[in-house]
Amino acid sequence: METPVFKARGHILPLNRPYIMGILNVTPDSFSDGGRYFSPAAALKRARELEAEGADILDVGGQSTRPGHRPIPWEEEWERLSAVLPGILRETALPVSIDTFYPQVAKKALEMGAHIINDVGGFPDEMLEAVAGSGCGCVVMCPAGGGEDIFAQVKNFFLDRLAAAGRFGIEKARLCFDPGIGFGKTLDENLALIARVDKTRIPGIAYLMAASRKRVTGAPCGDPPFNERLPATIAAHTAAILGGADIVRVHDAAPGKQAALMAAALKRAYSF
């Protein structure tokens, strides 16, 4: 049986091991590391660090999507991203993902050479149209929750976006689905989605879990500060990988990589 892959503009990731997506926020107000990598020099230094620590993908964001954030216009988001992207693309060998819900920003980033668009807005048709002919990877996050059956709600959303992508000529190998931990969902819904990836995963399509330092990793543990949630993050992502997640999005690449490799080894051993 042929191994499915995730395609991202010349980068092909076989879905036979877990991948680490390293978070690089070039914002002054992200929930856990706002302002640390806002300057181009600091952002490039951090990109190199993430690559050295074992990240497989860099996810660069120019706008915070933390609870209660103040949205900025696309022009301001692009100003932040365009200051750091050339250096990152030039000096790292990793596929670069752009975390944006603006089609205008996606187009400009792809023209500059980005490889993946990661849209927390759920990849509406306007975004699909913007990226259709680019060959980029598309991380499609489910931004909703609160339904009677969270598993059915998320999976039906994925199936809808899969059909929509097909109408725009986007092959399924370019898609990666993300259940949207922390977006419009209760704590119990978030925990359930982490624990039961098998309930929402569509066979043959990449699946991303992004719980790093989020409230779901704090609430069961006495709400430690954001930067003290690494053990809880590792526990959540390990469960997700055992359930079938292919990519985990992390702030801490080195420990995240080590944990992912161990989780993969345990998953293989399960059928020993």
Q: Which residues are catalytic?
A: 214, 249
Distance CA 99, CA 216 (A): 21
At residue 96, the 3 state secondary structure works out as strand
Query: Long-range contacts for 196-203 (Cβ within 8 Å, ≥24 apart)?
Result: 196/151, 196/243, 197/240, 197/243, 197/244, 197/245, 198/243, 198/244, 199/151, 199/155, 200/151, 200/154, 200/155, 200/158, 201/177, 201/243, 201/244, 201/245, 202/155, 202/158, 202/159, 202/162, 202/177, 203/4
The Cβ of residue 100 has, within 10 Å, a number of other Cβ atoms equal to 26
CA 87 to chain centroid, in Å, comes to 21
Q: Which residues contact 129 (CB under 8 A, 6 or more apart)?
A: 103, 168
**Which residue in this structure is represented by tokens 């809880």?**
232
Q: Which residues contact 167 (CB under 8 A, 6 or more apart)?
A: none
Please give the C-alpha separations between residue 124 and each of 40, 127, 166, 199, 202, in angstroms, as whole numbers: 30, 6, 13, 23, 19
